[in-house]
Amino acid sequence: MSGVQQALVAGQTNAGVRWRAWGGGLRGSEYSWAIAFTLPYAAVFLAFVAYPVVFGLWLGHSPELYSQLFDDPLYLNTVVNTILYVGIGVNVRMFLAFLISGFFMRREWWVRALFLAFILPWAMPALPTALSFHWLLNGQWGLFDNLLWFLFGVDGPIWLNSRWTALGSNIVAYIWKFMPFWTVIFLAGRMAIPQDLYEAADVDGATGYRRFAHVTFPLLANLYLICTLLSTIFTVGDFTTVYFVSGGGPAMSTDVLATLGIREAFTVGRPELGVAAVMTALPIVIPIVIFLMRKLSTTEVQL
Amino acid sequence: MVRMSRRSVLTSSVGLTVAGLARPHIANAQAKTASVWVNQGFVPQEDAAFKKLAADYMKESGNTLDYSIMPFQAQNQKTIAALASGDVPDLVFMDAPGTILPQNAWNNKIVDVSDVVQPYEHLLTDTAKLASTFYDKTLRKRSYFLCPIKQGATPFHVWGDLVEKAGFKISDVPNTWNARWDFFKPMQKILRAKGMRKIYALGLEVETVGPNDGNNLYIHTMIANGGVGIVTSDGKLHTDDPKVREAAIKTVEYLSTAFKEGFVPPEALSWNDADDNNGFHERLFLVDFDGTISTELAMYSNKDAYNKMVTLGMPHGNDGKPVPCQVNAGGGFIPKGAKNVTVAKDLMKYWMQPKVMGENLKAGLGRWAPAITQIVKDDPWWLDKSDEHRSTYIREAVLEPTTAVFTGYTPAWGQVEAEQILQQSTADVVKNGMTATAAVDKMFKRANDIFARFTFE
Amino acid sequence: MSLALTAGWSNRRRYRVRHALMQSAAILFALVLLIWSLLPIYNMLLMALDKHDDIFSGAIWPPEPTLYSFQIVVTEGFWYLQYFWKQYANSIYVGAATTFFTLLIGSLTSYTVGRLRPPKAWLITNTAMLTYVIPASFLAIPFYRIMSTYGLGNSLWGVVAAYVTFGTPYAIFIFQQYGKSIPMELDESARIDGASPLQIYLRIYLPLMAPALVAVGTYALLLAWNDFLFQFLLLSSEKNMTVPVALAQFFNSDEAPWNYMMATAIVYSIPPVLFYYLFRNKMASGLTMGGVKG
């Protein structure tokens, strides 16, 4: 389509990297297409989101649940753990994923091969990998300490016996599991950056760091922010890792809100308490959700 | 509208089930169908035994059972989801319904099954009856909410050959609680000197992770120290009883001291539910205290290891008096709102017949003991001396003194166990440097807070 | 490199040394990454290759390596695994359906919101976010209820519906973000040329979104592939179950052949890796399409 080619050329000649904002509304017949295209999601939403979320909120509505939660001396601890787990886990991981995605842009064959190994953590089911971590870190038969001994003659500590190393282990396990995922997302994002932008930058004499700061980073910044926020929401709800790696131990000191909630729901048998536990994270989750909503509704492309 | 779609799902799956079972006779059009959730067994024979039972029942009664055998965790979560959302099966059969029954019976969500249990009352063990009784707050009474089929106890598991290797004789094992554990302590040094560098004497489950082991060990140690009165069958907590307090303190002292003195593998603090068994199989320690004989049965096919293990029943308490073993009951319960209560009750009536019960449990290699004493007396297989593991275990669970688990008395206890505050007190002494007294007081306070939420009037 | 150090060197030499250093740094980095990624997996492999007695022996290398566990898995030789291949097929079915629908619905929606831009489009993305207010694991119970209400209890489609519900909002956001880097002029001129929105969607939007489609597709696949909570809850009969539920059986009691479990997990993770491997070229092709030169 020659029109497209012309447009592309036109777009490229704006090498100063400005896109024109699309200023118009829809023309008549396109409106029905819009409706048709959004109908599937609307149906999914109404059928499967509206009721469960409302029901879920209803399950956790009684104030008595919250007074019970706050009574628990471990609750505060759990909140601190959650903040640390989510705060460190998400941010360290995002940052590393971002850097590593740059590494994987390289073309060498061994980089490509490495990538396959790299996504394995993500590809494996969470339950066995978390369990594997749990056993890896065991002081007696764990591979990690045994390797330390074998390679360096160092007797490793019992990682899961102390609150901070256990928390650290949980964080490391979580980063390990999901970093490949975000790396893939960032990689896709990097690949979206048109080659000619880099070439224009080269022409302007920007290399290495300057190239990164002026071309890559601004374009990916939005993506990075959105991913971080989404990941925060996901991590607040993640219980598999903590549950199987440290089990919330030793002595419940590494529980996070999600594991607390699951325990209340399925071990104590009071799902309302479980939902309430996770809902106490809402003061953090809701602002994030609102922020994301606003971010996503801006329609202009900008730098 | 909604009902129709559910029924159509049921009828189609019924059709499939009937076709799948290929019974020679066609299901009576008048007959009814019940949906049953059964937890998966420990060995395939258990599942096969259930399928046979179901088939026999269907033949005899003409009713149809639409059953699903599912892993224990899945069943637990599904049942809780079902009870919370109101969409329940007709019968749920669980080996260990302690997470679900107390709370839901309290909230009037379980069907009273006294009419099923009463005909068998004279045959059931006392603890089976007690463990099947729960309090319904709406009706303000205690009643049978579980039809008990099986019971589980906790024996000691020992590596007999290692005891001999250390120069001791298993027949010398003392018969009082503390002395029994102490017996194994000197063996640690001896065996280490003989090249088993990583071995520990005691596999004390001081963990606060995982549902049972830590709580189990703690409670029995308390009972052995005279603290069985901590919770009475009326659901009241007696932490102000000096005997109970003393027992708790002694428990914490014993467990934490054994740990601090290095007789327990250090990562016991962070074991999960399977790790004590993993450790035992690895010969990481000599003795542990774990529910049922699953530890031995896991080695059933390895006759060499199977025979090296020794199973011991309950010793006497530190005061020399017999210590009852805490025993739970597993069986079938019927959630309220079940569409086919009649068939569900009928099935349980069938299952509770001594002959049926006995046969069904035999297939499980004796991991679960029957709830009816007469079964083990009538059928020599249970107490057959040639299998020392099973006979000791069954004797412990059925014939020797037992007491019911506290979960039946009040839902509060289930929460106490779920919050792991018992072994937390041990951890407080070991890790946080508290004194045993302070740790116990802390634990008692929390227990009282939890119990305060469940008032009985 | 400081000029003092390299004062006497030629530019070329400086470049070569620098290049060599960068290369070795890259290789070192790659090595670290490799070890990092593979260590826990090696642990799983170690356990899978061990005989039952050796699993917790603390060895670094399997003392008596055996493929027995894998054999058991593949031949369905253990009773927990007796329906392994049927469950595998179910997992593939659920995974494929989830991926397909998530990509379809997600891309259609983000196309509309991002390109067609009807008024009040922000409503859609905003309400989509509501899906994430309560973590998925706690929505499991209401989900259980509605699935029975819709007649989807114990059906694989119920599970697919659940995953599509959780995966689509995320897909929409990523597609939207990604789509911002595709110039609107393309749509404009196609429209001038007389193309309908459907044709623009199929011919321009989708091909240019290829890298994002692969990324999100893999995400959707893995969401469905590795979750166990919803599969537990929404499925009952043995023949309907999926592999994660089969894995859960290993927790039936506190005794289990962990080597079989690890072997099962390893065999189970092959399809997603394969999926990614097969489609990764599509990701790279997006590179050339995103910056066509005239």
HSE toward the beta carbon, residue A87, CA cutoff 13 A: 8
A263 touches chain B (CB under 8 A): yes
The yes/no answer on whether domain C79-287 falls in CATH 3.20.20.330 is: no
| Residue C283 forms contact with B (CB below 8 Å) | no
**What is the mean pLDDT of the segment spanning C131-159?**
82
Whether the CA torsion C213, C214, C217, C223 is positive or negative: it is: negative
Residue B118's pLDDT is: 92
Q: What is the pLDDT of residue B200?
A: 92
Q: What is the pLDDT of residue A120?
A: 85
Interval C240-253: pLDDT, tens: 888 888 888 887 76
ipTM > 0.90, yes or no: no
pLDDT classification of B116: cutoffs 50, 70, 90: very high
Q: Hey, are the CB atoms on B104 and A269 less than 8 Å from each other? A: yes
Alpha helices in B107-200 (DSSP H): 114-117, 126-131, 160-165, 177-193
Q: Is B37's pLDDT higher than 90?
A: yes
Q: pTM for this structure? A: 0.82
Asked if the model's pLDDT at residue C102 lies above 90, the reply is yes
* CATH number of this structure's domain A68-298: 1.10.3720.10
Average pLDDT for C260-279: 84
Q: How confident is the model at residue A19 (pLDDT cuts 50, 70, 90)?
A: very low
Average pLDDT over residues A38-44: 85
Residue in A134, A141, A252 closest to B420 by CB: A252
Question: From CA B81, how far away is CA B84, in angstroms rounded?
Answer: 5
Interface of B with C in 56-85 (CB under 8 A): 68-74, 77-78, 80-82, 84-85
**Higher per-residue confidence, B441 vs C247:** B441
Percent of chain B scoring above 70 in pLDDT: 93
Contacts of residue C60 in chain A, CB cutoff 8 Å? 143, 146-147, 150
Cα–Cα distance measured from residue C223 to residue A94, given in angstroms and rounded to the nearest whole number: 19
Per DSSP, B378 falls in state H
d(CA B349, CA B343): 10
> Among residues C248, C243, C250, C225, which one has the least CA distance to residue C55?
C250
Segment C272-278 mean pLDDT: 80
Mean local confidence (pLDDT), B4-14? 39
Look at residue B155 and tell me whether its pLDDT is greater than 60.
yes
Q: What local confidence, expressed as pLDDT, does residue A16 receive?
A: 28
**Alpha carbons C171 and C101: distance in angstroms, whole number:** 11
| Interface subset of A 54-73, CB within 8 angstroms of B | 59, 68, 71-73
C294: pLDDT strictly greater than 70: no
Most confident of A129-138, A169-178, C221-230: A169-178
Helices marked H in B303-435: 303-308, 341-351, 354-362, 373-378, 388-394, 411-418, 421-432
CB contacts < 8 A (A, B): 95
In this predicted model, what pLDDT tens digit does every residue of A80-117 receive, in sequence order?
989 999 989 999 999 999 888 888 888 778 887 888 88
CA–CA gap between residue B20 and residue B82 (Å, rounded): 26
Chain-chain contact of B87 with C144 (C-beta, under 8 angstroms): yes
pLDDT at B29: 39
What is the reported pLDDT for B31? 61
Residue C47: closest CA among A128, B367, A47: A128
B298 against B400, higher pLDDT: B400
The per-residue pLDDT for A207 is: 67
Asked whether C190 and C200 are in contact (CB, 8 A), the reply is yes
Query: Does the structure show a pLDDT above 80 at A217?
Result: no
Delimit the domains of chain A by residue range: 1-59, 68-298
Q: What is the mean pLDDT of residues B362-368?
A: 85
Tens digit of pLDDT for each residue in A261-299?
888 888 887 888 888 888 888 888 888 878 877 776 654
Rounded distance between C-alpha atoms, residue A8 and residue C182, angstroms: 10
Confidence band (pLDDT; 50, 70, 90) for A257? confident
Chain centroid offset of residue A77 CA: 23
Does pLDDT of B13 surpass 60?
A: no
pLDDT over threshold 50, residue A68: yes
- Over residues C32-40, the mean pLDDT reads 89
With CA atoms as reference, report the closest residue to C103 among C156, C186, C163: C163
Highest mean pLDDT among A219-228, B118-127, C138-147: B118-127
Confidence of residue C282 (pLDDT cuts 50, 70, 90): low
pLDDT value at residue B94: 92
pLDDT mean across residues, chain C: 81
Average pLDDT for A180-185: 86
- Within 8 A of C146 by CB-CB distance, chain A residues are 47-48, 51-52
